[in-house]
Structure formats: C-alpha cells, structure tokens
Structure 1
Amino acid sequence: MSDALNPDRASACPFHQSAATGTPTTPTGCPVSPRAAEFDPFEDGYQQDPPEYVRWARNEEPVFYSPKLGYWVVTRYEDIKAIFRDNLTFSPSIALEKITPTGPEANAVLASYGYAMNRTLVNEDEPAHMPRRRALMDPFTPEALAHHEPMVRRLAREYVDRFIDDGKADLVDQMLWEVPLTVALHFLGVPEEDMDTLRKYSIAHTVNTWGRPKPEEQVEVAHAVGNFWQFAGKVLDKMRLDPDGPGWMQYGIRKQKELPEVVTDSYLHSMMMAGIVAAHETTANATANAMKLLLQHPQVWREICEDPGLIPNAVEECLRHNGSVAAWRRLVTRDVTIGGIDIAAGSKLLIVTSSANHDEHHFADADLLDIRRENASDQLTFGYGSHQCMGKNLARMEMQIFLEEFTRRLPHMRLAEQRFTYVPNTSFRGPEHLLVEWDPTCNPERTDPSVLEPRFAVRIGEPSAQAISRSVVVTSVSDAGADIVRVKLASRDGQPLPRWTAGSHIDVECGQSGMSRQYSLCGDPDDVGTFEIAVLRESQGRGGSEWIHNHAKAGALLRIRGPRNHFRLDETAGKLILIAGGIGITPISAMARRARVLGIDYEVHFSGRTRASMALLDELTALHGERMHVYVSDEGTRNDFGALRIADGTQVYACGPARMLDALQQACVDWPDDTLKIEHFKSTTRTLDPDKEHAFEVELKNTGLVVTVAADQTLLAALRLANVDVQSDCEEGLCGSCEVRVLAGEIEHRDVVLTRGERQSNTRMMTCCSRAKGTKLVLEL
C-alpha cells in the first residue's frame, strides 16, 4: 500500500488496459476483468471455499472491483494487514452495515420494535473506539478468562455424554451450537434462555447484516432481529438490578458509573445484542470448521489424538486454513493506492481475510494443513490491530477443550457421507450440519475410565512454539569426533520431514523433565527424509548433551520441535566467510554446502583444540577442498581474524565458543555494519532483579493500548497479560522468535540475536529479555 494518489493524474489500470464496448468499469474508469465481473460472494463456490474461490485474484489480480457487489475486493496478506493497521484511512464503520439494503416493509417492521442498533467495538471509529475498548477489556485478559475453563470443560463433557453411545451425531445441532452459546451467555452474565429461540435470533442477525435475503424473507428476518433487540434490552434491564453479578455486561454497567460518557445506555444495549452473536456464533462455526477439516485429514486427526499437546497449534492452523470469518469490510476515507490500484475516498472494501490466510507469500505451502506450522498464529481470522477480536482467547480456549474432549473420547470418529451447506453471506461461515459416526463398542472409556480425565493444560492465548513437537525415530548414531555423536533422524511413518534452510536448528526434548536443547542441523538441506545433528558431550553442561549421548540409540523415538531458522544465510551475498569453533561447525557446515550448490564464493575457517575433536572434519575437507581453512591449537595454528579481508558485499557467519565470538566482535569494529552474523550457544540473559530494574511504559501504536512493564516483569509477560499476541520460543534472548518493531524510545538490548547495526538502528527488540532505557517505548503492535 502506498501514499495517497495524485488526483491530477489519470488512474493507472495495471491489469486491464483496454476492453470491449460494454465491459463494466471500476469507479476510476478501468475495465473490469471477466473474473472480477463474475465475482459473487453469495455463490456456493464462495460459501464452500472462499480462499479457493478467489485464488485467481490472489495470484493474478490481488485487488479488483466487483460490479455485482459495488466493493473493491482485497485478497493478499500484506495488503489486508496494512488495512487493519490503519483504522483511520480504512474506517471499520461499515463492518456491520447491511450488505443488502433492507426494503421499506422490513424497515417498518424493525422500527416497530424500536430497533436502534448503535456503534459497537467492531464498527466504531476513533476517537470513540479506543476509550471504550480500554474500559471494557479486563474481562478478556488470560487471567480473567481462566475462571471460565472449568465451566467449558463441564459442558463439553456433559454434551458428549448425551450422544457418545449412539454411534452418530450432528455435532452442530447436538453440541457445537449450544455449548458456545451457553458459554457466551455465562461470559456476558446473561441468564440461560431458550436455545432454539436464541439460535434463530443469531442466524437472523447474520442474514440481516451479511446476507442477501429475498424481499419476502426480509420481513421475517426483520421480525426475528426486532425480537432479538427487545430481548437484549429486557435482559440488560434485569442486569441493572444486580450490577455486582459476574459477567461482562455487569462489568460494563459498573464501568458506566465511572465513565458515563464512554459507556452509555445505548452502547450497552447494542453490545448486549452484538456480544451474544460475536461470542457465540463465530466460536461455534470455527469449531465446526475445525472438526470438519481435521476429520477430512485422518492422519492429522490421528496425530492430535495421540499427542494432545499439538491441540493449541492445531486450533491456530484450523483458524488459518478454514476459519469462521471469511471477510471483513472497510470504508476508505482518503485517496490511496492498494496493491498498485488507485482507490478513491468513499470506496468500500471487502477484505477477504480467508484469502490472506492462504497467501503463499506469507504461509509456505498455504493450502497444506500443517498443525506444526510455526507461523499459524499469524492468521488474520481474528483481525489485527486496534479492532482485533477481543474474545479471541475465549474462542481459543473453547476450541482447545472441544478438540481435547473429542480426541480423548472419540478418536475413532469419522465424517459421515453428506453435502455441507452454509448460510449465504459474505463474512461468517460454518457448516449448518456436521454429521459424524463411529462404532460405540470401540469407545475407549468402556475399557479405560482414565480416558475421561483431561490430558493437557489449556493454553489461554497464542500457542507457544515450544508446544509444536513431532515424534521422530533415530535411524543411526555414529562417532563424529572425540565425545561427539552424529545422530540421524527420520519421521516414524516414512513421510518427508519439513524442509529446512541452512542455519536452521531443531529443539530436542531431553527426557521427561521438560528439558529441551537446541541443536543445529548439519546435513543436506535438500534431503527431505533425514535430519542430522552432531552433539558434543559436555559433562559440565546443563544435561542435554549427556541425555542425547545416553539415550539416542538406533530405533529410539525422540520428540523434536522445528526446524526453525534465526541464523539465516544471505543467499544474495557476493561472498561468504564462514567461521566455526569446535561444535559450532554444525550450522556452518550446512551453510558451506548450500554456498557450494549456489555457486557463491565462500571460505570456511574451522578451529579446534585437536583434529580428533573437530566434528565432520574429514567430510568437510573432502567436500570443500582448498576453500577449507583448518586451525588446530595443538599443532600451533590459529585463526587471525584481523587478517580477514572483508570487501563490500561480503557476509561473515560465525558459531563457536564465547571466547572466539568475543574476539570476532572486536575484530569487526571496522567492518561494514551488519557484516557479522553470530549464532550463540548460550544466553547471557540474567534473572530480573527488581532492585536493579525500573518500570516503563509501552504504547502499542496499532492498538492504541498503553501497557506498564513492572520492574520484576518482562515485556513479553506484560504484553500477554494485556491480551496481546506475541510469538515466543526460548525466552532467553537466543532465538529471535519474540522480536517486535520499535517506533520510538531507546532500547536496552539484552539478546544475543541482533547484529551491531540492528541494535544501533533502534528499531527492533526481543520482548523476552530487552527493556527500555528510559520510561517509554512505542511498538508497532
């Protein structure tokens, strides 16, 4: 997305320069392509699979005008995220606008009920939006949501009890609609009412706002919406009689006394109605979509049945791959260019978030269901920025509990033959019915009552990368030097392993204690069947290497996470100088192999105490010949870093012991900025001492929140408590997973990831360890 367009110049038509007479045109006069002219989100193709329906646009015409809809349609990840980030240029005011105008007869019906739906958090502009959001946010924090977990677990169990011996069920009708509705009512503080009536109201609200009801249907829908409006008002009146009761609406009533100008009567009424739909319907649809998707992939279903620890990330991947929110809408408030297309102020946008979630530019193999996908939580199903869904973590919690209940008690469940149908609308989707079947005589709890006990702790918030593990088998173990073993790993089922790039590492879970250690991959990145690591036994280490040496035997099963790469090779460099000390040769060896394949000019400098202690030495010497420079202490040779010739375009990568890396840091003072990239073995992060730290504030530019970071608290912990998603892994300043962009304020860097130039730029920091030097930072969150 670029700056405002120049109104004095003719609008560019980058995709369609000319067209036949009679071809529809955009508001800027460009001809509309045949595919764009035919786009209709009410067609069954869009309802069944929105990302597939607009694949052509994502690939060929990422921003196009739909004459049938009267909207510009945006389909790519970066464009949509930029739109969410800028809620001034792209107003959410039309998010709940009827996409099909209501006729006069239906309008009269709504008026007869006193229907007066006001702005809510979803469609409110600044400056009104953020004060209300801040005032009403506390019940959505992870700490507050944890109180609802026992209720959700109880409901999930009770509803499965009702049909587990039947051998078949419609999961939507018999569980996935009613349980989220009950949870929503409890969360809001609403007394439980008749489920069928509420279901009718909820569907009517969806059709009324995002659907295309026929004229004869509009009156019926209007009566349902009017009844819903009056119902919400009556419930709100009851709540006012007991404002100290539990529930988000009672919280809002109490806040009204503190902030009467912010939390008004009309606002509470609108939120009462909108909250029931938002907290209920999207979660019901998301869970139904997830179950449908997982059962369509039996191997993936079996994996989470066997390992419930995969459920949090499986939920995130299901939200990405087949979420319940297909699209949002925005109103353009000034002339802009999006994806190379000039769009005028006053234009309406349909931003297809489900398409963004399948954008190959952001999600590798985007159509693949990968429950171990590292960046699954980058999905935009919950939106992004200041209008991101406040209830996202309640939805995540419910979905995790539902999946855990099904995988424990009905791992033999399968989809029944059926055709899936959806309520036609642009934005919210889930199957109206989900028919499943199983053999009740095979129910695990009939022979093992322990199946009824939960097997994993729900994670309230974005899943940790530490939970995304897989089981692999050790195919061979061999000596790679003195006290060094070379371990080869393969998938248990013979399937290909995830692709990796030079510099990547995996995390190996070492025993039952929860200990895990990172080991660089040292094999061939083009070998999709094998991971290779080389591990030095360190008797004075933290126990990981000892465990690997003692337990990694041929045929053994290990649990690993990754691969991940925070030491990525620049494959565009003019020349590479690769420096390793001791076991630090492992990532360097993969880099050298990759440079050789690409034809990049490179040198390898490898130092060790003795030749016997230098892993992979013979293999590397044979592969790289005269490009290999070896320095052996007991032979009296030593690498002189000061003698290295660093020309423009040269990149230096180094991994090894701290003393070697310190020497390199001294030697690189006069090198061009960011020439040296280092991979560390250990973190230098210290435990926070509140007596030596100071509190500071962080302003989150995209959401408008201000978060206080206490002296005894990391920035990462403070953000999580404020319901802000930030990925993390090592939480020691080693891996770079928790990096955020800094817009203002001075950073005290404590990580070992960023280069000297990156630190000096003062634009990036690791939230797990780094802090503010002063009293405030402004972050791009």
Structure 2
Amino acid sequence: MSETPGDTAAQPSDSRPEGAAAGRCPFPHGAHAAPDAAARCPVSANAAAFDPFSDGYQQDPPEYVRWAREQEPVFYSPQLGYWVVTRYDDIKAIFRDNLTFSPSIALEKITPTGPEANAVLESYGYAMNRTLVNEDEPAHMPRRRVLMEPFTPEHLKRHEPMVRRLTREYVDRFIDSGRADLVDQILWEVPLTVALHFLGVPEEDMDMLRRYSIAHTVNTWGRPRPEEQVAVAHAVGNFWQFAGKVLEKMRQNPEGPGWMQYGIRKQLAHPEVVTDSYLHSMMMAGIVAAHETTANATANAMKLLLQHPRAWRELCEDPSLIPNAVEECLRHNGSIAAWRRLATKDVQIGGIDIAAGSKLLIVTSSANHDEQHFADADLFDIRRENASDHVTFGYGAHQCMGKNLARMEMQIFLEEFTRRLPHMRLADQPFTYVPNTSFRGPEHLWVEWDPARNPERTNRALLGARSPVRIGEPSSHALSRPVVVERVETVAEGIVRLRLVAPEGATLPRWAPGAHIDVECGAGFGTGTDECGKGGHDALSRQYSLCGDPADTGAFEIAVLRETRSRGGSMWIHDRLREGMRLRIRGPRNHFRLDETREAGHRAIFIAGGIGITPISAMARRARELGIDYALHYSGRSRRTMAFVEELAQLHGERLRLYASDEGTRNDFGALRVDDHTRVYACGPARMLDALEAASAAWPAETLRMEHFAASAGKLDPANEHAFEVELRDSGVVLEVGADQTVLDALRRANIDVQSDCEEGLCGSCEVRVLAGEIDHRDVVLTRAERDAQTRMMTCCSRARGKRLILEL
C-alpha cells in the first residue's frame, strides 16, 4: 500500500540541465563531444539495454538487475533517461534525504503522452495536484502529521472485524469449487472494499474502479502505445470526475466515517494545510493507494508461498509465523518494484557523480535482494530475522502511511487460506503483469485443491478460529525455527559441541563468522516427549556463537560450557539435551563481524579465552580461506578444558599460540604488534577483555573488536536516572523517556518497532543511529571509537546524558 499515489497534470519548473530534462545521455560522446572527450559514450552494454518495460523486469525485477547490484550499482539508462540505483544502502540514504532527493517526480508520467491524449484529459478538467507521496518540504510533513491519526494502530484495529468478515465471505463463495483465480475472486475486490470503507467512499461498481485503477497505473508508470493513450486518458479523466463527485457528497456529511471525511474536518482547522485541490487529488489517489498495492502484494505472497511448499506447510502448521512471513514476502517479492526521485543539487551516490536535475529510478525490489544487507538474500526464509528491514514501504518521512493496514489485510488473508485451504496448490499457468516501472502483481493467480479434503468438512470449529493480528512490524524476539539435535559430543572437560540440523533435511540460513543463535532452553521439561524449547514464560533464551563451517548450510554448530553459576541455560543443555531432540532457535544474527579486506599488509589477530574460542575459531578459519595474514592466540586454564585444540592445531599450524595457566604460560597483550593495518578480534571472560582493552589504549582507533559473555550494565534504577526526550527525525515524533523506562520501552509503547533480543546491551540488535545529543553508553557492543563518535546507541540500556536525543527513526 503506497503512501498516496496520484498524478500531476503539470510539473513544477526546475533548473534541470537541458540534457537531463530531455532525458538525453548526460555523457559527452560522438559528434557532440568536446575534442578531449572520449569518442564513445561510457554507458555499459547492460545499462544501454536496461528496459523496465521488458518481460524480464516485469517477471523478476531483482534478478533482472542482479548484474547492476554486483557490478554497476548506479548506472545511467539512455532508454529511460534516468539514473538507476540498485543497492540497499544507497537507496535508504536517498529516502532519508528528501531535500537533496526530491519526491516531486514520483508521480510524473514516465512516458509522456501525445497532444490528443492530453486534450482528452483537459476536457475532463483533470487537474491532479500534489499529494503526500510527491510533495516537498516544508509542505509535506505538516500535512502528514495532521492526517496521520486514522493510521495509528488503535484506529486501524477497528477495521479488523470487517476485513475478517469480508475475507471469510469471499472464500465461502469458492471453497467447494476446487479451483479459483484468487486475483479475480478475492484479492482485488476485498482490498478495494476495505479501501473504500477506510476512505469513507460509497462502494461503487468494482469492475469500473478496477479499470480506472489500472488505467491510472499505466498512465503514470507505464508505456502505453500511442493508440492506447487516448483510451487511458478517458479512463483517467472519468476517474478524476468520479472522485470529485464523491468528494462533494462527503462535504454534505463531514461527520461521517472515513479518512476523507477526517480530512474535510481537518480542513476547517487547518485550511492552509488541507486545501481543496489537495482533497480532490487525494480522493482519486487514495482509492488507488489503499487497495491496488495491497491486492498485488497479497497475490505475490500467495504465489511465492505456493512455489515454496515447505514454507507453505510450516505456515499452515504454525500460524504464529504469519506476521514475519508477510514481511519476507514483501521483501522477496513485494508489490512495489521502484520509486523515483529528482536530484536537487550536484551529489554523489555510490561514488558516482550525479548532476542537479537528474532523475533517479530507485529499484527498491533490488535493494531488498542486496547481499550486503540480507544474508543469502535470494533465499526465501519466512523466519528471516531482518525481513522487516525491507524498503518496500519506502523509508523516512515519505514511508507509506498505510503500511500497517496493508500488513493487517495480508495477515488475515494468509490466516484464512492456511486454515481453510492448506491443501491449495498453484495451477499450471503463465504469469502476466501490467507493464510499468513501479507496481507489480500477477494479473491472474489460478489455484487448485480437492474440496473433499477441506478441513472444515470434518472440523467445523475451524470456521470460528482466529489468530491475533499484529499491527506493525513483527517482533523478531518472538520468531523461532525448529532444529533437531543431530549430534552431541564432548570436546573438552565441561564443554559439549552440538550439531543442529533443520527437520527433513531443509537448508539453514547462511551465516558469517562472529554470528550467534539464540537457543530457547528450559521449556518442555517432564513432558515425556522428545520436544523441548517450545517457548513460553518458562523458557530461557541464551545466546551461543556459531563455531562450525559457514559454508555448511545443512547444520549449525555451537559449543556450550557447563557453568554451575549461570542462569540455567548451560546446565539445561548439558543435563537434558540428547541426540534426536528438537530445539527452537532464533537467528543467526551478527554484531561481531570479520573485516574480510585482503589488501596487502592487512593482518588479523584473534584472541580467545576459554569458551570464547567459539566465534574466534570460525573467524580464523575464514581468514585462512581468504589468505589473510593472521595469528590465533588461545588461552585457558589447562589444555583439557580448552575446546578444539587438536582441530585448531591441524588447521592453523604455527599460526596458533596456546597459553595454559597450569603450564605457566600467559598471553602478553603488550607484546602484540598492532598497526593501522591490523584488526584484533577477542572473545573471552571479562577479566581478559578488560586487560586487552587497557592494552589497546595505545593502538590505532577502531583496531579492537570484542564480544562479551555478559553485560556490565546493571538493572535500571529509577532513583538514579532522569527523564529525557527522544525526537524521531524520520517520522516527526517526539517521545518522553521516563526515569523508569529505557528508550526501547518508550519506542515500543509508541508502536515503533526496533529489533531487540538480549536487552542487556550485549547483542547489539537494538542499535539505532543518533543524529544529535550526548549518549550515556552502557552497552558492551560498541568500540571506544564508536562511543566517542556519539552516532550510535543501544536502546535497551543506553540513555541520554542531557535532556534530548535525536534518533534516525
């Protein structure tokens, strides 16, 4: 569901260079080149061939631009007259800076229409103006704030019963037929009905509105042939007049329900913010925004899930996975392929110089497959920890206002389908899409099933069942995946190594050295089954570093030290776990990454104490594979208490230095040779890390990276704290953080989701960027230099030293 798609009858003037404005190649070449310029345009062959209206782009945009993500992440498209941006970090930075990168062209016709079609639009009085999605500051944010309330979770919750009722009624119509086109028979009409209900628009002819909506998409983001442009213009003109008539009816009853009536009432209090032209434009744009992308997103999700039978089966068996499955579907195959922006000044994107006035096509669907942000990005994983990091809804001040309404609808659709038609399968069919740059979903989605196997025929209670809907991003803390304990072996005195595999031989997510998983320990005792770690209030969650081979996608390996003074996790693993038992885990996630730079002179020093060898062993293995110069220092009480000694000796030879206390050997940190090209990675007990940090005072900044076993910050003591404010710059919200609250608590109460796990300042999952204010750091994740920079904080424990922090949220 986009923020508010619309169109513009005329674009504002700007200072674009002639070549950029006309869509001509900005590079000097051929007859137009200066004498000293290259004779050939530097546009690559792939860039020259880029065509977002081709079937390859329509079928799979991320795959179509894979070459760009990997080789040329920012390139100029002569066919389109746009610079194309494909990587996650670049696109998020563009969304964040809506002053340098104006949204003013977001709804400009990407294919200019001819004079005949323009005359048709003029005959209808078509005068689409700015809407929220293509509006610059300072007008945009005041309008967004005035109109936001109906999109808050407490207001959206009121629509849930209606969405559930409609979804069930539509499924009732075809459930006994054994075959259906989900797009035609439910996924278009239900979101449209919900959209009209939300907006307060009377339910008009569905087929007519569908034609209008498709025409609007083709008119704005498509490439209609000259002979099609007039028909499209008539449909768009009729849509415009329809929107105006409905708006006039609403003005007669401004106290009625719906977002548009809400806007009419707000106009009385803020006439300079909510104008007449804005309301008319929003009436038309809102109908498209509130339903088309939701319909497409759900169709894409169903297609994706049914193409992955294992994921579909897991979703049917465990409905609690639905919220995160929605996020992964939006990431992997969302309904928004790309957005557009205009550079307002000379700027660099990904190291490429972009001139003021240049147009940008930012391929958000490509960003969602960026390996630099999403590990194993092409893998469809409904348990992916950071699935909700996707930019399908945009980011920052222009992030989709209706994102949580779309999430709610998608969750209810998936709940209904998985409960009532778990035996559904895709029919053999070609998939076609309305050719355009930005919005995508299959025009038809045929599915089949055997009605005799419908579960409700033998269990009528299914019809009354329902799963809770989460309005907002799903909490990664509640997300887990099942694994089977394939092997338990003792690798040192008091240390066992576990090999964990996915049920039925499934593939596990890829991970990088330094990553850890969270194991749910303690639940299921005394059940008489081989299942443990089912979660719930009696389960403990403990973090364990991965120590196996990252290339092995069939298993995770962890090593656990028996700690008699621990909080119970290690004792439970040692005393209770047996081969064949099932566990539930979360992750992997990584806040202790290895710098894989292989430049000449680059060195790595790995330092481990006791069970801290687990992440360090994986790092050293990787350094060896990459040909990085490294040394591995491993300390322990005695060789018999040190895990993997023989394996490490075979793998690393003379690069391994062992220090055993009972042998009188000790690592001298002051003797380490550390320079600007050296990185030191350490994990071990607090005493060792404290000594290492002291020794590092004379080392270059950013040299030392450490992972701790435990956090040093104690429990929050309100008597010794003070209240402060946090301003969320990207969303325009200001929150009060009480003396008895963490920043994370305040964010959660405002329904602003920040991932978190340990909530002790230990794992780094709740990190946010800080734009202003002095931070009272209490975590054990950030380095000394990172703390001094005052640009990042852990919201679970760190606080403000003063009265205010400004966060990049």
CA RMSD of aligned residues (A): 3.5
Which amino acid in 1 is paired with 2:326?
Answer: V
Q: 1:339 to 1:670 in 2, by over 3 A?
A: closer
Query: Is 1:600 paired with 2:611?
Result: no
Match of 1:698 in 2: 726
Which stretch has the larger CA shift, 425-434 or 509-518?
A: 509-518
Please list the CA deviations of residues 462-514 of structure 1 after superposition, one character each: whole Å capped at 9, or x if unmatched: 33333443222111212334443322212222244333332221111222325
User: Counterpart in 2 of 1:761?
Assistant: 789
Tell me which residue corresponds to 2:774: 746
1:778 corresponds in structure 2 to 806
CA contact (8 A) 2:620 2:630 kept: no
Q: Provide the residue aligned with 2:286 in structure 1.
A: 275
Does the aligned pair in 2 maintain the 1:582–1:614 contact within 8 Å? Answer: yes
2:660 aligned residue: 631
1:379 aligns with 2:390: yes
Residue in structure 1 matched with residue 239 of structure 2 by the alignment: 228
CA distance in 2 between partners of 1:539 and 1:250 (Å): 64
Task: Tell me if structure 2 keeps the 8 A contact 1:282–1:324.
Answer: yes
Structure 2 counterpart SS, 1:227: helix
Does 2:541 correspond to 1:541? no
**Partner of residue 490, structure 1:** 501
Cα separation, 2, equivalents of 1:446 and 1:67: 58
**2:435 pairs with 1:429:** no
Q: Which moved more, 1:541-550 or 1:736-745?
A: 541-550
Q: Cα distance, 1:74 vs. partner?
A: 3.1
Q: Which one of the candidate residues 504, 524, 531 is aligned to 2:556?
A: 531
Letter of the 1:517 partner, please give it: R
- How far apart in 2 are the matches of 1:479 and 1:341? 54
Residue 262 of structure 1 and its aligned partner are, at CA, apart by 1.3
Match in the other structure for 1:393: 404
1:571 deviation in Å? Answer: 4.3
Question: Offset at 1:574?
Answer: 4.9
Answer yes or no: is the 8 Å Cα contact 1:141–1:721 preserved in 2.
Answer: no
Number of positions where the alignment pairs a residue of Structure 1 with one of Structure 2: 766
Equivalent residue, structure 2, for 1:158 = 169
Q: Match for 2:582 among 557, 561, 565?
A: 557
SS across alignment from 1:94: coil
Cα distance in structure 2, aligned partners of 1:369 and 1:524: 22
Decide which of 513, 516, 522 is 2:541's aligned counterpart.
Answer: 516
- Structure 2 CA distance for partners of 1:698 and 1:100, relative to 1, 3 Å: same
C-alpha distance in 2, partners of 1:403/1:363?
24
Partner AA of 1:381 in structure 2: T
Matched, 1:330 2:355: no
Deviation at 1:84, TM superposition (A): 2.1
State the TM-score, normalizing by the size of structure 1. 0.88
Partner AA of 2:586 in structure 1: R
- Report what 2:760 is aligned to: 732
Q: Provide the C-alpha distance between the structure 2 equivalents of 1:661 and 1:594, rounded to a whole number of angstroms.
A: 23
Cα distance in 1 for partners of 2:247, 2:741 equals 39
Residue 592 of structure 1 contacts residue 604 of structure 1 at CA under 8 Å; is this kept in 2? no
* 1:465 counterpart residue number: 476
Q: 1:453 to 1:520 in 2, by over 3 A?
A: farther
Deviation at 1:252, TM superposition (A): 2.5
Q: What is the identity, as a one-letter code, of the residue corresponding to 2:581?
A: A
AA partner of residue 377 (structure 2): A
CA distance in 2: counterparts of 1:676 and 1:451, whole angstroms: 56
Distance between the aligned counterparts of 2:333 and 2:565, measured in 1? 48
TM-score, structure 2 normalization: 0.86
Shift in CA distance, 130/499, structure 1 to aligned 2, threshold 3 Å: same
Q: Which moved more, 1:40-49 or 1:236-245?
A: 236-245
Secondary structure of 2:361's aligned partner: strand
Moved more, 522-531 or 398-407: 522-531
The structure-2 alpha-carbon separation of the partners of 1:451 and 1:210, relative to structure 1 and needing over 3 Å to count, comes to same
Output one character per residue of 1:646-684: Cα deviation in whole Å (capped at 9) or x when no partner. 532444433333344444444544444344332222334
Q: Which amino acid aligns with 2:777?
A: H
Within 5 A, what are the aligned runs for 1:4-83? 30=41, 32-33=43-44, 35-83=46-94
Alignment of 1:349-428 (within 5 A): 349-428=360-439
Distance 2:150 2:435 in 1: 33
Do 1:473 and 1:491's aligned partners in 2 also have CA atoms closer than 8 Å? yes
**Are 2:709 and 1:677 aligned?**
no
AA partner of residue 109 (structure 2):
K
Question: Are the structure 2 counterparts of residues 41 and 721 from structure 1 closer, same or farther at C-alpha, using a change threshold of 3 Å?
Answer: farther
Residue 560 of structure 1: how far off its partner (Å): 1.6
Matched, 1:128 2:139: yes
Q: 2:149 aligns with which of 117, 138, 141?
A: 138
1:204 CA displacement: 2.4
The answer on whether the counterparts of 2:476 and 2:755 sit within 8 Å (CA) in structure 1 is yes
Letter of the 2:548 partner, please give it. Answer: G
Give the letter aligned to residue 541 of structure 2.
S
Deviating runs (4+, > 6 A) in structure 1? 4-7, 13-22
| 8 Å contact kept, 1:646–1:671 | no
Q: How far 1:754 moved relative to its partner? A: 0.8
Q: 1:66 to 1:535 in 2, by over 3 A?
A: closer
> Greater shift after overlay, 538-547 or 310-319?
538-547
| Structure 1 residues 639 and 380, CA gap change in structure 2 (3 angstroms) | same
Work out the CA distance in 2 between the residues paired with 1:177 and 1:183. Answer: 10
Q: Take 1:250 and 1:694, find their aligned partners in 2: how far apart are those partners?
A: 42
Which one-letter code corresponds to 1:728 in the other structure? S
Return the offset for 1:686: 4.8
Report the CA distance between 1:65 and its aligned residue. Answer: 3.9
- Amino acid in structure 2 at the alignment position of 1:516: S
Which deviations, in whole Å up to 9, do the C-alpha atoms of 1:590-645 show, x marking residues without a partner? 3344445546331323223x66544445655666566332333xx48474656543
**Is the contact made by 1:14 and 1:340 (CA closer than 8 Å) also made in structure 2?**
no
Query: How do residues 199-218 of structure 1 correspond to structure 2 at under 5 angstroms?
Result: 199-218=210-229
* Counterpart Cα distance in 1 of 2:273 and 2:163: 32
Deviates more, 1:391-400 or 1:120-129: 391-400
Structure 2 segments unaligned to the other structure (5+ residues): 1-14, 19-23, 524-533
Q: Deviations over 1:202-235 (max 9, x none)?
A: 2222222222334454444334333333333343
Give the unaligned 5+ runs of structure 1. 8-12
Could you say what secondary structure the match of 1:118 adopts? coil
Q: 1:272-298 CA distances to partner (integer Å, 9 max, x unpaired)?
A: 221221111111001111111222222
User: Deviation of residue 408 (structure 1)?
Assistant: 2.1
Structure 1's 518 and 220: CA in aligned 2 closer, same or farther, altered over 3 A? same
Secondary structure of 2:63 counterpart = helix
Instruction: Give yes or no for contact 1:92–1:330 (8 Å, CA) kept in 2.
Output: yes
**1:120 deviation in Å?**
0.7
Aligned partners of 2:71 and 2:754: how far apart in 1? 32
- Partners of 2:350 and 2:783 lie apart in 1 by 32
Corresponding residue for 1:647? 674
586, 589, 593: which one aligns with 2:617? 589
Does structure 2 conserve the Cα–Cα contact (< 8 Å) formed by 1:310 and 1:371? yes
User: Is 2:310 aligned against 1:305?
Assistant: no
Answer yes or no: is 1:93 the counterpart of 2:127: no
Q: Is the 8 A contact 1:577 1:602 kept in 2?
A: yes
Q: Is the 8 A contact 2:602 2:628 kept in 1?
A: no
